[in-house]
């Protein structure tokens, strides 16, 4: 039996190769994966043209996944460096790579990513429209926007961030509700400017059927972007953010009718006490579609440490329903991240995701911790290093301050509680 998308296959009762891969990774029956795919509560971003892809699932009851943002800019434009960052991120067990390039030969970089990456890939086509056509924002045509979307789909990109919910109604909410940081989404700001200068509706909202046809043709998952996400704690959970979310929920149902998979992008800066409510509102308004969040960052005063502020928010968000965490590096708000920044961001986000999986009761999540605890109880240092989320750093710290008694560490020495209690 033929099928057009993973969702179409799931509705027809067909088990795909990617569903089997997800079931194996999650240690779940493949029928559970198929059923959740058919309902839209799980997605498997898997473009038909991404041949090297190993299927990963995002959504209800699955492990929390993490995404890594990369890409070249006008000030820092080295494709080879970004490819190396991507390979490094994959080795550090990132579940997805997102190309946010805004300058140069973006097509070359995108194709290299597709060739080397077994993990799912995402892009924001609006960025590329600005980069490739060399036009003012106002002069970019509707066909220009859609030609870039088609190109990215043909190239093998698995999920596309499209800010289709930023329509005229959403803009009214922005204009009537003063914000401290206005619009902080790059894609959202481009479309906002285009709409105001042309006095027209968002082309992706007005021509949503055209967008769905492209996605259906290549089996691209729509990541419905949050063009009005809060860029400060003060703007969190405000009327513009919620208005856009309502529209995204409506667009989700339209996509499902065409068997197009959907994720919803969520907020970036949210106070701790509002995170749980944000997750619950999203799941309610968007009918249980998987939720993809940037952080969220829980305080605005820590430039240079935003991998920590976002990991705090990410752990809470995932505990309360977020399915996909976009990493934040120490360079957030400051510059393009280096390889070391990428590493710090990935490790922090993986810790957040794993902590949330334990809290959610994801099958087998706590087993890793139990094995580490057993190694600590046995004072088995080699096993501890083997199980560490970042063995390199653990070994470096241990080697930097060696104890006289190799069985213990320099924190406690002869007063090591584990060694003393065992001896007693």
Binding site listing for substrate: 69, 98, 127, 163, 185-187, 226-229, 265, 292
**Which residues are documented as binding site?**
69, 98, 127, 163, 185-187, 226-229, 265, 269, 292, 333, 409, 412, 416
Give CA–CA dist 396/281, Å, rounded: 44
Give CA–CA dist 121/112, Å, rounded: 11
At a CB cut-off of 8 Å and minimum separation 6, what does 2 contact?
Answer: none
Residues in the chain: 424
Reading the block at residue 354, the tokens are 């794993």
Give CA–CA dist 172/164, Å, rounded: 15
| Distance, first Cα to last Cα, the chain | 68
Give CA–CA dist 310/296, Å, rounded: 5
CB atoms within 10 A of CB 20: 14
**Which residues are documented as binding site for Zn(2+)?**
269, 333
At a CB cut-off of 8 Å and minimum separation 6, what does 92 contact?
Answer: 343, 346, 347, 350
**Which residues are documented as binding site for [4Fe-4S] cluster?**
409, 412, 416
Whole-angstrom CA distances from 241 to 196, 267, 274, 313 are 19, 8, 13, 18
**Burial readout 230-258 (b: 16 or more C-beta within 10 A, e: otherwise):** bbbbebbbbebbbbbbebbbebbeebbeb
Give CA–CA dist 332/341, Å, rounded: 9
DSSP state of 297: B
């Amino acid at each position: 039996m033929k099928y057009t998308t993973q969702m179409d296959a799931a509705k027809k009762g067909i088990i795909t190769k990617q569903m089997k891969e997800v079931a194996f990774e999650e240690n779940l029956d493949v029928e559970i994966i198929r059923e959740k795919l058919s309902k839209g509560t799980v997605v498997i971003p898997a473009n038909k043209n991404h041949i090297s892809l190993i299927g990963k699932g995002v959504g209800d009851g699955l492990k929390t996944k993490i995404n890594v943002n990369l890409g070249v800019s006008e000030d820092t434009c080295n494709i080879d460096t970004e490819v190396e960052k991507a390979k490094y991120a994959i080795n550090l067990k990132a579940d997805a790579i997102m190309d946010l390039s805004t300058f140069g030969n973006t097509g070359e970089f995108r194709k290299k990513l597709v060739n080397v990456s077994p993990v799912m890939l995402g892009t924001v086509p609006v960025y590329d429209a600005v980069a490739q056509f060399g036009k003012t924002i106002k002069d970019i045509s509707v066909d220009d926007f859609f030609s870039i979307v088609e190109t990215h789909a043909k190239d093998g990109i698995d999920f596309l961030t499209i800010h289709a919910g930023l329509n005229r109604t959403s803009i009214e909410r922005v204009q009537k509700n003063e914000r401290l940081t206005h619009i902080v989404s790059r894609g959202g700001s481009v479309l906002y400017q285009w709409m105001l200068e042309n006095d027209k509706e968002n082309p992706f909202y007005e021509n949503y059927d055209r967008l769905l046809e492209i996605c259906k043709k290549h089996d691209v998952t729509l990541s419905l972007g949050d063009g009005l996400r809060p860029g400060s704690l003060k703007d969190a959970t405000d009327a513009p953010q919620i208005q856009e979310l309502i529209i995204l929920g409506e667009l989700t149902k339209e996509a499902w009718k065409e068997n197009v998979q959907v994720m919803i992008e969520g907020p970036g800066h949210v106070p701790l006490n509002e995170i749980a409510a944000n997750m619950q509102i999203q799941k309610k308004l968007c009918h249980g579609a998987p939720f993809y969040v940037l952080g969220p960052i829980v305080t605005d005063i820590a430039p240079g440490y935003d991998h920590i502020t976002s990991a705090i928010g990410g752990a809470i968000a995932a505990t309360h329903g977020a399915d996909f965490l976009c990493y934040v590096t120490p360079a957030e708000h400051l510059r393009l991240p280096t390889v070391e920044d990428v590493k710090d961001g990935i490790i922090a986000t993986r810790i957040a995701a794993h902590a949330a999986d334990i809290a959610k009761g994801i099958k087998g999540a706590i087993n890793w911790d139990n094995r580490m605890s057993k190694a600590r109880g046995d004072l088995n240092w080699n096993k501890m290093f083997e199980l560490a989320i970042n063995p390199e750093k653990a070994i470096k710290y241990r080697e930097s301050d060696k104890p006289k008694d190799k069985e213990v560490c320099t924190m406690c020495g002869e007063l090591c509680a584990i060694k003393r209690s065992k001896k007693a």
